[in-house]
Amino acid sequence: MAEKVRDPVEGPVEPRKGEGPLRFGIFVVAYNAVTTLRKVLDRIPKEAWDAVAEVFVFDDASQDDTELLGQGYKALRGTDKLKIYRNEFNLGYGGNQKKGYDYAAEQGFDYVILLHGDGQYAPELIPQFLKVATERRPAAVFGSRMMSPGAARKGGMPLYKFVGNRILTTAENLLLGSRLSEFHSGYRMYSVEALRKLHYSAYTDGFHFDTQVIVELIHRGLEIVEIPIPTYYGKEICYVNGMRYARDVMLSVLGYRLYSAGLVRCDWIGEKGTPARRYPPKLSPLSSHMRVARMVPAGARVLDVGAEGNYAKSLKEKGCEVVGINDRAPDTETASQYERFLIREIDQEGLPNPSEVGRFDCVVLADVLEHLRSAPVVLSAVKDLLAEHGTIIASTGNVAHWYVRLGLLMGRFNYRDRGILDQTHVRLYTRKTFRRLIEGQGYGILQCKISPIPFELLAGRGRLTRAFWKAVEYAYYALARLWPTLFAYQFVLLARPERRGAA
């Protein structure tokens, strides 16, 4: 996800061939910075002043004379490029950034550089940010204090902060499947176009705002480039509670990982921009997707109702002929896995007639029935599409799962973008009520399998993290086998129409 620029870039900023020059803004966040702000502004190189359209300072309702000092500096230097603003109320570190990025968008900047008014980050490196942005046009450029071995400690970073930084960054990379050298530097440049794709107005107003930006950049698949920066720790006052910050950072990352697995809401990610695939494939042998694929006989003719393509490739490899049906067209890659694909609103139009599609050895209704108000009618109609001795495979989430029960105990029943409480579900089932639905339409149940929480969706790409989450998944599965009604995440049923008149 992240690409690293290991050598400092030097020289004037030139536009990439075939493209016009970029419009840059430098955004200085300041709070009680009366002793440091002048030095920070003095250290911005002349070539940076010449290259940027504006340097704007947002004083976050400081209790000292930060704003007055900024106005005096502007008058003394006589530069129209410097703008000084003071928030009426303290918005917090994240809240101040939100206001600044809104301002950057209003002013029509292409890129905005975040610079701290306390002098912790070197303004002398601004030309390097401008150079990378001009040549690469990434979504973000991050200054990293960890890219040069030993530089952070030599620059005065306290040992406890260095260790904490490494531990948090390692954990965040493992959870997010990223390879950033540092998550916790505040020296950054953002593409304003990329910021428009983010949901930053819903982020925290606290110090872990920066982490939430990284998480959503990764979520959107936007490019992050890192460059090395020096470390400096002076006598500036630190307003960050380290333990609280670490807790908030990890809760944000863990919350996102649980959201990506469909287990919880993550309102600060939102649905703005290009969302991740709605139903990502689950490849674990214990997952519902793989259980469905294994239940289908080799060489069978299959109707995949509500087709998302998550097991069509596996069925094709088994020699199956698969016909898909959904209310929207799949992408080209997914469509290539099907012999035929029908666009149909099942709840309103019902299933096609056998004269249209023929008969099938197996009809798959995986994670579909909970979306249908007419589920009993559809199940009954499926029997007309089955060949002799044909079967159905149906799966659904377990609404009696422990985390749903826990939420109810705490007074919460929040619908989400996917998972058991998917906001598009119109019916919710326990194991008992799901069996009753199937059996009530004249089917005899041949098998009932369970699947655990899809921990694989939390694993990322690292070998060690995949191994860890695989072990967790199998341990959880053993627990679900002992008490399926409480711990099973999904139920997968194999059923066949009962013969009329059978004893």
Q: How many CB atoms lie within 10 A of CB 201?
A: 11
Residue 274, domain member (yes or no): no
| Same-domain check for residues 314 and 452 | yes
Q: Are residues 304 and 219 in the same domain?
A: no
Residue with tokens 């099907």: 338
Cβ contacts of 362 within 8 Å, gap of 6 or more: 295, 296, 297, 300, 301, 302, 303, 390, 391, 392, 393
Tens digit of each residue's pLDDT (9 = 90 or more) over 132-149: 999 999 999 999 998 888
* DSSP H/E element including 386: strand 386-397
**Rounded-to-integer distance, Cα 213 and Cα 224, Å:** 11
- Contact call for residues 278 and 417 (beta carbons, < 8 A): yes
Per-residue model confidence (pLDDT) at position 12: 41
Angle at 459 between CA 290 and CA 423, to 5 degrees: 65
* Residue 430: strand, helix, or coil: coil
Say what the pLDDT of residue 4 is: 43
Residue 242 belongs to a domain = yes
State the Cα–Cα distance between residues 347 and 427, nearest whole angstrom: 13
Three-state secondary-structure class, residue 238: coil
Position 282 scores a pLDDT of 75
Q: Domain of 163?
A: 2-260
Q: What is the pTM of this model?
A: 0.64
Q: Do 299 and 252 lie in a common domain? A: no
CB 412 within 8 A of CB 421: no
Residue 276 lies in a domain: no
Whether 379 is covered by a domain: the verdict is yes
Residue 364's CATH number: 3.40.50.150
Q: How far is CA 463 from CA 218, 260, 322, 470, 473, in A?
A: 19, 19, 33, 11, 15
**Per-residue DSSP letters for 184-236?**
----EEEEHHHHHHS-GGGS-SSTTHHHHHHHHHHHTT--EEEEE------SP
Going residue by residue through the chain, which has 503 residues, state the pLDDT in tens, using 9 for 90 and above.
444 443 333 334 444 444 668 999 999 999 999 999 999 999 999 999 999 999 999 999 999 999 999 999 999 988 889 999 999 999 999 999 999 999 999 999 999 999 999 988 999 999 999 999 999 999 999 999 988 888 777 777 888 888 988 999 988 988 888 889 999 999 999 999 999 999 999 999 999 999 999 999 998 889 999 999 988 765 555 555 668 889 999 989 988 887 776 666 777 886 543 444 456 667 788 888 889 889 999 999 999 998 887 788 888 888 999 998 988 887 787 788 888 998 888 888 888 898 888 999 999 999 999 999 899 999 999 999 999 899 999 999 999 999 889 888 888 887 776 778 888 888 999 999 999 999 999 999 999 999 998 887 776 666 777 788 888 889 999 999 999 999 999 999 999 998 754 44
The answer to whether residue 219 sits within a structural domain is: yes
- DSSP for 135-201, please give it: HH--SEEEEESSSSTTHHHHTT--HHHHHHHHHHHHHHHHHHT---S-S----EEEEHHHHHHS-GG
Both structure tokens of 98 = 């939100």
Q: Are residues 109 and 181 in the same domain?
A: yes
Which pLDDT belongs to residue 285? 87
Cβ neighbours of 1 (radius 10 Å): 16
Residue pLDDT, tens place only, 14-46: 444 446 689 999 999 999 999 999 999 999 999
Number of structural domains, the chain? Answer: 2
Element at 378 (helix H, strand E): helix 375-385
